[in-house]
Chains A and B, each alone.
Chain A
Amino acid sequence: MEGRFNWAGVIDFLPELGTGLYYTLLISIIGLIIGFILGAIFGLGRISKNKIFYGISSIYIEVIRGTPVLVQAIWIFFALPLITGYNMASVTAGIVVIAVNSGAYIAEIVRGAVQSIAKGQVEAGRSLGLTHNQTMRYIVWPQAFKRMIPPLGNQFIISIKDTSLLSVILVPELMFQGRLIASNYFNAVEIYTTVAVFYLIITLTLSFILRMIEKRLDVQ
Protein backbone atom coordinates (compact mmCIF):
# COMPACT_ATOMS: atom_id res chain seq x y z
CA MET A 1 0.00 0.00 0.00
CA GLU A 2 2.98 2.23 0.71
CA GLY A 3 3.26 4.95 -1.89
CA ARG A 4 0.12 3.96 -3.70
CA PHE A 5 -1.61 7.23 -2.86
CA ASN A 6 0.05 10.57 -3.30
CA TRP A 7 -1.48 12.61 -0.49
CA ALA A 8 1.17 15.31 -0.63
CA GLY A 9 0.23 15.89 -4.26
CA VAL A 10 -3.15 17.24 -3.18
CA ILE A 11 -1.40 20.51 -2.35
CA ASP A 12 -0.90 21.15 -6.06
CA PHE A 13 -4.66 21.21 -6.54
CA LEU A 14 -5.48 23.53 -3.65
CA PRO A 15 -6.00 26.59 -5.92
CA GLU A 16 -8.68 24.72 -7.91
CA LEU A 17 -10.23 23.28 -4.77
CA GLY A 18 -10.08 26.76 -3.23
CA THR A 19 -12.07 28.14 -6.16
CA GLY A 20 -14.57 25.33 -5.62
CA LEU A 21 -14.78 26.12 -1.92
CA TYR A 22 -15.38 29.78 -2.77
CA TYR A 23 -18.35 28.98 -5.00
CA THR A 24 -19.74 26.46 -2.55
CA LEU A 25 -19.67 29.07 0.22
CA LEU A 26 -20.92 31.86 -2.04
CA ILE A 27 -23.92 29.86 -3.24
CA SER A 28 -24.65 28.50 0.24
CA ILE A 29 -24.55 31.87 1.95
CA ILE A 30 -26.49 33.91 -0.62
CA GLY A 31 -28.86 31.01 -1.31
CA LEU A 32 -29.63 30.48 2.34
CA ILE A 33 -30.11 34.18 3.09
CA ILE A 34 -32.67 34.39 0.28
CA GLY A 35 -34.03 31.02 1.37
CA PHE A 36 -34.58 32.33 4.88
CA ILE A 37 -36.44 35.37 3.55
CA LEU A 38 -38.60 33.13 1.33
CA GLY A 39 -39.14 30.80 4.28
CA ALA A 40 -40.22 33.64 6.57
CA ILE A 41 -42.67 34.96 3.96
CA PHE A 42 -44.22 31.64 2.96
CA GLY A 43 -44.08 30.29 6.51
CA LEU A 44 -46.29 33.18 7.54
CA GLY A 45 -48.38 32.44 4.46
CA ARG A 46 -49.09 29.00 5.83
CA ILE A 47 -50.62 30.51 8.96
CA SER A 48 -52.28 33.40 7.16
CA LYS A 49 -56.05 33.80 7.14
CA ASN A 50 -55.76 35.19 3.61
CA LYS A 51 -56.80 32.24 1.42
CA ILE A 52 -54.78 33.32 -1.64
CA PHE A 53 -51.57 33.83 0.36
CA TYR A 54 -52.15 30.52 2.12
CA GLY A 55 -52.85 28.75 -1.17
CA ILE A 56 -49.75 30.07 -2.93
CA SER A 57 -47.58 29.21 0.07
CA SER A 58 -48.95 25.68 0.26
CA ILE A 59 -48.44 25.00 -3.43
CA TYR A 60 -44.88 26.32 -3.31
CA ILE A 61 -43.97 24.20 -0.29
CA GLU A 62 -45.60 21.02 -1.58
CA VAL A 63 -44.10 21.26 -5.07
CA ILE A 64 -40.58 21.91 -3.80
CA ARG A 65 -40.70 19.34 -1.01
CA GLY A 66 -42.19 16.79 -3.37
CA THR A 67 -39.50 16.96 -6.06
CA PRO A 68 -35.77 16.11 -5.85
CA VAL A 69 -33.21 18.92 -5.70
CA LEU A 70 -31.38 17.39 -8.62
CA VAL A 71 -34.51 17.61 -10.77
CA GLN A 72 -35.10 21.19 -9.62
CA ALA A 73 -31.52 22.17 -10.52
CA ILE A 74 -31.67 20.61 -13.97
CA TRP A 75 -35.14 22.01 -14.61
CA ILE A 76 -34.15 25.57 -13.63
CA PHE A 77 -30.92 25.49 -15.64
CA PHE A 78 -31.97 23.57 -18.75
CA ALA A 79 -35.77 23.75 -18.97
CA LEU A 80 -36.65 27.18 -17.61
CA PRO A 81 -34.59 29.09 -20.26
CA LEU A 82 -36.57 27.29 -22.99
CA ILE A 83 -39.77 28.68 -21.46
CA THR A 84 -38.60 32.18 -20.63
CA GLY A 85 -36.06 32.59 -23.42
CA TYR A 86 -33.62 33.92 -20.84
CA ASN A 87 -30.39 32.08 -20.10
CA MET A 88 -29.14 32.07 -16.55
CA ALA A 89 -25.48 31.84 -15.60
CA SER A 90 -24.87 28.53 -13.82
CA VAL A 91 -23.86 30.22 -10.56
CA THR A 92 -27.03 32.34 -10.60
CA ALA A 93 -29.08 29.23 -11.29
CA GLY A 94 -27.30 27.49 -8.44
CA ILE A 95 -28.21 30.28 -6.02
CA VAL A 96 -31.82 30.18 -7.22
CA VAL A 97 -31.99 26.42 -6.69
CA ILE A 98 -30.63 26.58 -3.13
CA ALA A 99 -32.80 29.59 -2.25
CA VAL A 100 -36.04 28.15 -3.61
CA ASN A 101 -35.37 24.68 -2.26
CA SER A 102 -34.31 25.68 1.25
CA GLY A 103 -37.09 28.31 1.35
CA ALA A 104 -39.76 25.63 1.23
CA TYR A 105 -38.29 23.68 4.14
CA ILE A 106 -37.55 26.83 6.13
CA ALA A 107 -41.16 27.92 5.62
CA GLU A 108 -42.30 24.80 7.46
CA ILE A 109 -39.73 25.45 10.20
CA VAL A 110 -41.01 29.03 10.58
CA ARG A 111 -44.64 27.90 10.62
CA GLY A 112 -43.95 25.26 13.25
CA ALA A 113 -42.01 27.64 15.48
CA VAL A 114 -44.58 30.43 15.28
CA GLN A 115 -47.44 28.02 15.94
CA SER A 116 -45.60 26.56 18.92
CA ILE A 117 -45.83 29.89 20.75
CA ALA A 118 -48.76 29.63 23.12
CA LYS A 119 -51.96 31.43 22.11
CA GLY A 120 -51.94 33.18 25.48
CA GLN A 121 -48.86 35.15 24.45
CA VAL A 122 -50.72 36.69 21.52
CA GLU A 123 -53.78 37.33 23.69
CA ALA A 124 -51.65 39.03 26.34
CA GLY A 125 -50.07 41.27 23.72
CA ARG A 126 -53.35 42.14 22.03
CA SER A 127 -55.12 42.77 25.33
CA LEU A 128 -52.47 45.41 26.11
CA GLY A 129 -53.47 47.26 22.95
CA LEU A 130 -50.56 46.16 20.79
CA THR A 131 -51.50 45.70 17.14
CA HIS A 132 -51.25 42.32 15.45
CA ASN A 133 -47.97 43.31 13.82
CA GLN A 134 -46.48 44.66 17.05
CA THR A 135 -47.47 41.47 18.85
CA MET A 136 -45.78 39.38 16.18
CA ARG A 137 -42.67 41.55 16.17
CA TYR A 138 -42.05 42.01 19.88
CA ILE A 139 -43.60 38.90 21.38
CA VAL A 140 -44.04 36.02 18.97
CA TRP A 141 -41.02 36.37 16.66
CA PRO A 142 -38.30 36.64 19.31
CA GLN A 143 -39.60 33.52 21.03
CA ALA A 144 -40.22 31.65 17.79
CA PHE A 145 -36.80 32.54 16.42
CA LYS A 146 -35.08 30.85 19.33
CA ARG A 147 -37.02 27.68 18.66
CA MET A 148 -36.14 27.83 14.96
CA ILE A 149 -32.40 27.68 15.46
CA PRO A 150 -31.88 23.91 15.86
CA PRO A 151 -34.06 22.93 12.87
CA LEU A 152 -32.62 25.84 10.84
CA GLY A 153 -29.10 24.59 11.52
CA ASN A 154 -30.17 21.20 10.27
CA GLN A 155 -31.59 22.70 7.09
CA PHE A 156 -28.51 24.87 6.49
CA ILE A 157 -26.29 21.79 6.67
CA ILE A 158 -28.54 19.86 4.28
CA SER A 159 -28.55 22.78 1.81
CA ILE A 160 -24.78 23.18 1.95
CA LYS A 161 -24.38 19.52 1.07
CA ASP A 162 -27.01 19.88 -1.66
CA THR A 163 -24.78 22.44 -3.42
CA SER A 164 -22.61 19.47 -4.47
CA LEU A 165 -25.44 18.45 -6.81
CA LEU A 166 -25.03 21.73 -8.65
CA SER A 167 -21.97 20.24 -10.39
CA VAL A 168 -24.42 18.77 -12.92
CA ILE A 169 -25.42 22.27 -14.01
CA LEU A 170 -21.75 23.22 -14.35
CA VAL A 171 -21.45 25.38 -11.24
CA PRO A 172 -17.69 25.41 -10.50
CA GLU A 173 -18.20 24.47 -6.86
CA LEU A 174 -16.20 22.08 -4.72
CA MET A 175 -17.59 18.82 -6.09
CA PHE A 176 -17.34 20.04 -9.68
CA GLN A 177 -13.67 20.94 -9.20
CA GLY A 178 -13.00 17.63 -7.50
CA ARG A 179 -14.49 15.66 -10.37
CA LEU A 180 -12.55 17.70 -12.90
CA ILE A 181 -9.25 17.06 -11.13
CA ALA A 182 -9.90 13.39 -10.40
CA SER A 183 -10.86 12.57 -13.97
CA ASN A 184 -7.74 14.26 -15.34
CA TYR A 185 -5.16 13.02 -12.84
CA PHE A 186 -6.68 9.69 -11.73
CA ASN A 187 -6.30 10.55 -8.05
CA ALA A 188 -9.88 9.86 -7.02
CA VAL A 189 -9.05 8.65 -3.50
CA GLU A 190 -6.96 11.68 -2.55
CA ILE A 191 -9.17 14.31 -4.19
CA TYR A 192 -12.61 12.99 -3.18
CA THR A 193 -11.37 12.42 0.37
CA THR A 194 -10.13 16.02 0.45
CA VAL A 195 -13.44 17.24 -0.95
CA ALA A 196 -15.33 15.31 1.73
CA VAL A 197 -13.10 16.76 4.45
CA PHE A 198 -13.75 20.28 3.10
CA TYR A 199 -17.52 19.76 3.36
CA LEU A 200 -17.07 18.39 6.84
CA ILE A 201 -15.05 21.44 7.90
CA ILE A 202 -17.80 23.77 6.62
CA THR A 203 -20.62 21.92 8.32
CA LEU A 204 -18.77 21.44 11.61
CA THR A 205 -17.93 25.16 11.70
CA LEU A 206 -21.58 25.99 11.10
CA SER A 207 -22.73 23.60 13.83
CA PHE A 208 -20.32 25.27 16.21
CA ILE A 209 -21.50 28.79 15.35
CA LEU A 210 -25.14 27.78 15.74
CA ARG A 211 -24.47 26.26 19.11
CA MET A 212 -22.84 29.51 20.22
CA ILE A 213 -25.86 31.53 19.03
CA GLU A 214 -28.21 29.18 20.82
CA LYS A 215 -26.27 29.55 24.05
CA ARG A 216 -26.13 33.33 23.69
CA LEU A 217 -29.91 33.56 23.20
CA ASP A 218 -30.68 31.28 26.10
CA VAL A 219 -30.09 33.98 28.67
CA GLN A 220 -32.60 32.93 31.32
Chain B
Amino acid sequence: MIKVENLHKSFGEHEVLKGIDCEIHSSEVLCVIGPSGSGKSTFLRCLNMLESITSGQVTVDGFNLKDKKTNINMVRTEVGMVFQQFNLFPHKTVIENIMLAPMKVRKLSKNEAKERGLKLLKKVGLSDKADKYPSSLSGGQQQRVAIARALAMEPKLMLFDEPTSALDPELVGEVLEVMKQLANEGMTMVVVTHEMGFAREVADRVLFMDEGIIMEEGSPDVIFSNPTSDRTKEFLDKVL
Protein backbone atom coordinates (compact mmCIF):
# COMPACT_ATOMS: atom_id res chain seq x y z
CA MET B 1 0.00 0.00 0.00
CA ILE B 2 2.82 2.42 0.87
CA LYS B 3 6.40 2.11 -0.25
CA VAL B 4 9.02 4.57 0.95
CA GLU B 5 12.50 4.48 -0.49
CA ASN B 6 15.43 6.52 0.74
CA LEU B 7 13.20 9.43 1.79
CA HIS B 8 15.04 12.62 2.68
CA LYS B 9 13.42 15.80 3.93
CA SER B 10 15.18 19.06 4.72
CA PHE B 11 13.86 22.36 6.02
CA GLY B 12 16.45 24.72 4.58
CA GLU B 13 19.82 23.56 5.86
CA HIS B 14 18.28 21.36 8.51
CA GLU B 15 17.88 17.74 7.47
CA VAL B 16 15.01 16.15 9.38
CA LEU B 17 14.69 12.83 7.56
CA LYS B 18 17.95 11.19 6.56
CA GLY B 19 16.94 8.28 4.39
CA ILE B 20 13.82 6.37 5.39
CA ASP B 21 12.98 3.01 3.82
CA CYS B 22 9.72 1.40 4.77
CA GLU B 23 6.81 -0.60 3.45
CA ILE B 24 3.29 -0.61 4.82
CA HIS B 25 0.89 -3.31 3.77
CA SER B 26 -2.85 -3.28 3.44
CA SER B 27 -4.70 -3.73 6.76
CA GLU B 28 -1.49 -3.26 8.68
CA VAL B 29 -1.34 -1.08 11.79
CA LEU B 30 2.04 0.57 12.05
CA CYS B 31 2.97 2.61 15.11
CA VAL B 32 5.84 5.07 14.92
CA ILE B 33 7.50 5.91 18.22
CA GLY B 34 10.55 7.91 19.15
CA PRO B 35 11.71 11.03 20.99
CA SER B 36 10.51 14.55 20.07
CA GLY B 37 12.31 15.96 17.08
CA SER B 38 13.14 12.53 15.70
CA GLY B 39 11.17 13.24 12.49
CA LYS B 40 8.14 10.99 13.19
CA SER B 41 5.54 13.63 12.34
CA THR B 42 7.49 14.88 9.34
CA PHE B 43 7.67 11.32 8.04
CA LEU B 44 3.90 10.95 8.45
CA ARG B 45 3.21 14.29 6.77
CA CYS B 46 5.34 13.27 3.79
CA LEU B 47 2.96 10.37 3.18
CA ASN B 48 0.17 12.71 2.09
CA MET B 49 2.45 15.49 0.86
CA LEU B 50 1.60 17.99 3.59
CA GLU B 51 5.39 18.22 3.48
CA SER B 52 7.12 18.16 0.13
CA ILE B 53 9.65 15.40 -0.41
CA THR B 54 13.24 16.60 -0.75
CA SER B 55 14.52 13.37 -2.32
CA GLY B 56 13.66 9.71 -2.52
CA GLN B 57 10.53 7.88 -3.61
CA VAL B 58 7.18 7.57 -1.90
CA THR B 59 4.44 5.47 -3.48
CA VAL B 60 0.98 5.53 -1.93
CA ASP B 61 -1.79 3.31 -3.28
CA GLY B 62 0.04 3.07 -6.61
CA PHE B 63 0.62 6.82 -6.94
CA ASN B 64 4.18 8.06 -7.10
CA LEU B 65 4.16 11.22 -4.98
CA LYS B 66 7.36 12.52 -6.56
CA ASP B 67 5.82 12.40 -10.04
CA LYS B 68 4.62 15.85 -11.08
CA LYS B 69 1.74 14.27 -13.00
CA THR B 70 0.29 12.73 -9.87
CA ASN B 71 -2.84 14.58 -8.78
CA ILE B 72 -2.14 15.01 -5.09
CA ASN B 73 -5.80 15.77 -4.33
CA MET B 74 -6.72 12.35 -5.72
CA VAL B 75 -4.19 10.67 -3.44
CA ARG B 76 -5.43 12.60 -0.43
CA THR B 77 -9.01 11.45 -0.96
CA GLU B 78 -7.74 7.94 -0.21
CA VAL B 79 -5.60 8.94 2.75
CA GLY B 80 -7.37 10.21 5.87
CA MET B 81 -5.46 12.24 8.41
CA VAL B 82 -6.07 12.99 12.07
CA PHE B 83 -4.11 15.82 13.66
CA GLN B 84 -2.79 16.41 17.15
CA GLN B 85 -4.81 19.64 17.40
CA PHE B 86 -7.97 18.11 15.82
CA ASN B 87 -8.26 21.01 13.34
CA LEU B 88 -12.04 20.87 13.16
CA PHE B 89 -13.64 23.74 11.25
CA PRO B 90 -14.94 26.04 14.01
CA HIS B 91 -17.51 27.80 11.80
CA LYS B 92 -19.27 24.56 10.92
CA THR B 93 -21.31 22.21 13.05
CA VAL B 94 -20.10 18.70 13.74
CA ILE B 95 -22.19 17.18 10.97
CA GLU B 96 -21.20 19.95 8.53
CA ASN B 97 -17.55 19.26 9.33
CA ILE B 98 -18.09 15.67 8.27
CA MET B 99 -20.28 16.40 5.24
CA LEU B 100 -18.09 19.03 3.57
CA ALA B 101 -15.47 16.89 1.83
CA PRO B 102 -17.80 14.05 0.75
CA MET B 103 -20.06 16.62 -0.89
CA LYS B 104 -17.38 18.78 -2.49
CA VAL B 105 -14.86 16.09 -3.41
CA ARG B 106 -16.85 12.86 -3.71
CA LYS B 107 -19.88 14.77 -5.07
CA LEU B 108 -22.32 13.09 -2.72
CA SER B 109 -25.75 14.66 -2.39
CA LYS B 110 -26.54 16.48 0.84
CA ASN B 111 -28.75 13.64 2.02
CA GLU B 112 -26.20 10.95 1.22
CA ALA B 113 -23.47 12.91 2.99
CA LYS B 114 -25.67 13.48 6.00
CA GLU B 115 -26.64 9.84 6.21
CA ARG B 116 -22.99 8.82 6.02
CA GLY B 117 -22.06 11.46 8.60
CA LEU B 118 -24.70 10.33 11.09
CA LYS B 119 -23.64 6.71 10.69
CA LEU B 120 -20.04 7.66 11.46
CA LEU B 121 -21.04 9.79 14.43
CA LYS B 122 -22.87 6.79 15.80
CA LYS B 123 -19.74 4.73 15.29
CA VAL B 124 -17.61 7.15 17.32
CA GLY B 125 -20.38 7.46 19.91
CA LEU B 126 -21.40 11.06 19.28
CA SER B 127 -24.81 10.79 17.64
CA ASP B 128 -26.22 13.46 19.94
CA LYS B 129 -23.59 16.04 18.96
CA ALA B 130 -24.37 16.35 15.23
CA ASP B 131 -25.68 19.91 15.39
CA LYS B 132 -23.26 21.20 18.01
CA TYR B 133 -20.29 23.42 17.18
CA PRO B 134 -16.82 22.01 17.85
CA SER B 135 -16.09 24.64 20.51
CA SER B 136 -18.78 23.13 22.75
CA LEU B 137 -17.14 19.68 22.69
CA SER B 138 -14.40 18.25 24.89
CA GLY B 139 -11.02 17.50 23.34
CA GLY B 140 -11.73 13.79 23.22
CA GLN B 141 -15.08 14.38 21.52
CA GLN B 142 -13.47 16.78 19.03
CA GLN B 143 -10.84 14.22 18.15
CA ARG B 144 -13.51 11.56 17.62
CA VAL B 145 -15.35 13.94 15.30
CA ALA B 146 -12.08 14.51 13.46
CA ILE B 147 -11.74 10.74 13.00
CA ALA B 148 -15.31 10.53 11.71
CA ARG B 149 -14.60 13.42 9.34
CA ALA B 150 -11.59 11.62 7.89
CA LEU B 151 -13.52 8.33 7.62
CA ALA B 152 -16.35 10.04 5.73
CA MET B 153 -14.12 10.06 2.65
CA GLU B 154 -13.91 6.25 2.96
CA PRO B 155 -10.12 6.32 2.79
CA LYS B 156 -7.99 3.25 2.23
CA LEU B 157 -5.43 4.44 4.72
CA MET B 158 -5.51 6.53 7.88
CA LEU B 159 -2.65 8.62 9.24
CA PHE B 160 -2.70 9.65 12.90
CA ASP B 161 -0.33 12.39 14.04
CA GLU B 162 -0.09 12.09 17.83
CA PRO B 163 -3.88 11.99 18.11
CA THR B 164 -3.98 11.92 21.91
CA SER B 165 -1.08 14.24 22.76
CA ALA B 166 -3.25 17.35 23.17
CA LEU B 167 -5.83 15.59 25.34
CA ASP B 168 -6.38 15.60 29.08
CA PRO B 169 -5.32 12.18 30.41
CA GLU B 170 -8.87 11.07 31.21
CA LEU B 171 -9.97 11.71 27.61
CA VAL B 172 -7.23 9.66 25.94
CA GLY B 173 -9.02 6.34 26.40
CA GLU B 174 -12.14 7.18 24.40
CA VAL B 175 -10.05 8.18 21.36
CA LEU B 176 -7.80 5.11 21.56
CA GLU B 177 -10.93 2.96 21.84
CA VAL B 178 -12.23 4.30 18.52
CA MET B 179 -8.83 3.73 16.91
CA LYS B 180 -8.68 0.20 18.23
CA GLN B 181 -12.09 -0.53 16.76
CA LEU B 182 -10.90 0.83 13.44
CA ALA B 183 -7.82 -1.38 13.52
CA ASN B 184 -9.96 -4.41 14.24
CA GLU B 185 -12.07 -3.63 11.17
CA GLY B 186 -8.95 -3.95 9.04
CA MET B 187 -8.16 -0.31 8.35
CA THR B 188 -4.58 0.35 7.25
CA MET B 189 -3.19 2.76 9.84
CA VAL B 190 0.03 4.64 10.46
CA VAL B 191 0.03 6.06 13.98
CA VAL B 192 2.64 8.41 15.38
CA THR B 193 2.14 8.11 19.10
CA HIS B 194 3.51 8.37 22.59
CA GLU B 195 0.92 5.87 23.86
CA MET B 196 3.16 2.85 24.32
CA GLY B 197 0.29 0.77 25.70
CA PHE B 198 -1.69 1.35 22.52
CA ALA B 199 1.30 0.55 20.31
CA ARG B 200 1.97 -2.63 22.21
CA GLU B 201 -1.62 -3.81 22.09
CA VAL B 202 -2.80 -2.73 18.64
CA ALA B 203 0.23 -2.38 16.37
CA ASP B 204 1.25 -5.13 13.97
CA ARG B 205 4.63 -3.52 13.68
CA VAL B 206 6.46 -0.74 15.51
CA LEU B 207 9.03 1.65 14.08
CA PHE B 208 11.43 3.35 16.43
CA MET B 209 12.73 6.58 14.89
CA ASP B 210 15.57 8.71 16.14
CA GLU B 211 17.49 11.57 14.54
CA GLY B 212 15.78 11.20 11.20
CA ILE B 213 16.30 7.51 10.62
CA ILE B 214 14.52 4.31 11.52
CA MET B 215 16.66 2.89 14.31
CA GLU B 216 14.75 -0.30 14.76
CA GLU B 217 11.57 -1.96 13.60
CA GLY B 218 9.75 -5.10 14.46
CA SER B 219 6.73 -6.61 16.14
CA PRO B 220 5.64 -4.85 19.34
CA ASP B 221 6.79 -7.84 21.38
CA VAL B 222 10.31 -7.60 20.07
CA ILE B 223 10.55 -3.80 20.27
CA PHE B 224 9.12 -3.50 23.75
CA SER B 225 10.53 -6.63 25.36
CA ASN B 226 13.70 -7.32 23.46
CA PRO B 227 15.01 -4.25 21.65
CA THR B 228 18.37 -4.70 19.99
CA SER B 229 19.39 -1.06 19.59
CA ASP B 230 20.80 0.75 22.63
CA ARG B 231 18.94 3.91 21.63
CA THR B 232 15.64 2.03 21.66
CA LYS B 233 16.40 0.60 25.09
CA GLU B 234 17.34 4.02 26.41
CA PHE B 235 14.15 5.60 25.02
CA LEU B 236 11.87 2.87 26.32
CA ASP B 237 13.49 3.01 29.76
CA LYS B 238 12.53 6.67 29.91
CA VAL B 239 8.93 6.37 28.74
CA LEU B 240 7.75 3.05 30.13
Residues of A at under 8 Å CB distance from B? 118, 120-121, 123-131, 134, 138-139, 142-143, 146, 219-220
Contact = CB atoms under 8 A, between A and B. Distances in A.
B81 A127 contact: yes
Contacts of B83: 120, 123-124
Secondary structure at the A interface, as helix, strand, loop or mixed, is: helix
Given A123-B87, A134-B104, A129 B135 contact: no
A128 B153 contact: yes
Interface stretch (B61-69, B72-80, B179-187): B72-80
A58 B27 CA distance: 51
Contacts, number: 67
Contacts of A128: 76-77, 80, 100-101, 105, 149-150, 153
Secondary structure at the B interface, as helix, strand, loop or mixed, is: mixed
Closest 4 CB pairs of A and B: A129-B77, A124-B87, A128-B101, A127-B81
Nearest to B45: A123
Interface in B140-162: 146, 149-150, 153
Contact of B48 (A125, A127, A146): A127
B163 to A, nearest CB: 13
A220 B133 contact: yes
B90 A129 contact: no
Tier of interface size on chain B? 20 to 34
A129 B73 contact: yes
B89 interface: yes
Interface string B113-152: 0000000000000000000010110000000001001100
A203 to B, nearest CB: 29
Contacts of A130: 73, 100-101, 104-105
Contacts of A131: 73
Given A128-B76, A131-B73, A143-B91, A123 B50 contact: yes
A44 to B, nearest CB: 19
14 contacts: A124-B81, A124-B83, A124-B88, A125-B89, A127-B50, A127-B81, A128-B77, A128-B100, A129-B73, A138-B104, A143-B91, A219-B133, A220-B90, A220-B136
Contact of B76 (A118, A121, A126, A219): A126
Given A121-B87, A220-B133, A220-B135, A127 B79 contact: yes
Interface string B86-113: 0111110000000011001100000000
B10 interface: no
